[in-house]
Amino acid sequence: MVNAAYQNILVQVKQLNVLEQFRLLEAISQLVQRETVSKPPRSIRELRGLGKEVWKNVDAQEYVNQERVSWE
């Protein structure tokens, strides 16, 4: 779904000549590249311990046994 701001910008872009549209396209492309490149890579290790409180007071073997029974 396209919002009103997007539509407004598109109307304005259509009023530019072709050279100005290409310049704008290049500027937007560079902006998007900087946004995607500037974020540091994430590590899977950041997920360590996430959600561990859910398993507090749960016996791992008992859980596995219950799951196996549910498959039958």
Structural domain boundaries of the chain?
1-39
Alpha carbon distance 2, 24 (integer Å): 20
pLDDT of residue 37: 72
Alpha carbon distance 63, 55 (integer Å): 10
What is the arithmetic mean of pLDDT over 7-20? 96
From the list 37, 42, 9, the residue with the least C-alpha distance to 25 is: 9
What is the arithmetic mean of pLDDT over 4-31? 95
**C-beta separation of 22 from 14 below 8 A:** no
Alpha carbon distance 50, 52 (integer Å): 6
Q: How confident is the model at residue 72 (pLDDT cuts 50, 70, 90)?
A: confident
